[in-house]
Every structure is written in C-alpha cells, then in structure tokens.
Amino acid sequence: MNIRKLTSILLLFILVLFACSDRSIVTDRKEMKGNVGDTYGFTSFHLTIDTKMEKELVSVSYEEKPKRIEAEYENKEKGISSYGNKAMKKLDAIFKSLELTPDMAEEDMIKTVSKTFEINDYKMIKLSIKFVGHDAKEIQLSK
C-alpha cells in the first residue's frame, strides 16, 4: 500500500512540475512565418528595464526554436503579466514595430527599445538579442 501511495504522489509531483513549466509555451503559431526567425528577424529576445522607482518595470523573454516558441511579458506600469499565447499576442505588435537590425549601434538599439516599450525614464536597460545568422548581442546601458 505504501508503494502505491508513494508512486501516486511521485506521478502527481511530476505532472505538476511539467504543467507549471509549460505556461510560457506559445501554441497559437498562426502569425509565425516559414523558418525560425523569419517573422521578426531574431530568434531570442530578453529585455529588462529598471527605473528609479521600480526594478524590472518591464521584463520580456522570447525564444523561438524550430518546434517551440516561448514568450513571457511583464509590464508593471501597464499592469501586464502574461505568458504563452497571451504574451505573444501583445509582443507581436511590439516586435513588428521594433525596427532592430544586427548592424545597428548598441546605443541606437537601446534608444529604439526604450521608445518602443514607452519607457524613457529608465535607470538601466539590459538587452540580449540573437539575430538570425549572427552572434547574440548582450547590451546593458545605465543612465
């Protein structure tokens, strides 16, 4: 009897663990074009914006892989905290207006990101982006 209980508890634990970790997976991929990175020009985008008043006022995590897309978006100023399809719906409009290119100067990237996410009074911005066919860029700028 104890082995059955232990097995049941273990299976329940594994189920809960996997269910919690999948909340950022995007299942609605209608907007995505052809190959990985074709939609936005990048396959990875991670952003954190701190202000004097609020640490991590904006936080974005986007990963695009051949069979899986993960998205998380939090904007405390706008009261947004979303994962998966809901995050992707909000990020899609932002990413389409985000005109970043791999050959852009780092300072211009930060200015563009700041303007697009409507946070001009930032204390620090951390951006990690991987453009298709290029090395990842890690940028951090403090005011």
Residue 1 included in any domain: no
Residue 20 included in any domain: no
CA-CA distance, 143 to 40, in Å (whole number)? 28
Residue 100 included in any domain: yes
More confident residue, 108 or 37: 108
More confident residue, 138 or 65: 138
CA-CA distance, 142 to 21, in Å (whole number)? 32
Residue 31 included in any domain: yes
Residue 17 included in any domain: no
Give residue 80's pLDDT.
93
Residue 11 included in any domain: no
Asked whether the predicted pLDDT for residue 20 surpasses 50, the reply is no
Residue 105 included in any domain: yes
CA-CA distance, 42 to 57, in Å (whole number)? 23
Residue 2 included in any domain: no
Domain membership of residue 52 as a residue range: 25-142
Q: Give the count of domains, the chain.
A: 1
Instruction: Return the C-alpha torsion angle 66, 105, 55, 62, nearest 10.
Output: -10
Determine contact, residues 85/28, Cβ cutoff 8 Å. yes
Calculate what percentage of the chain has a pLDDT beyond 90.
62
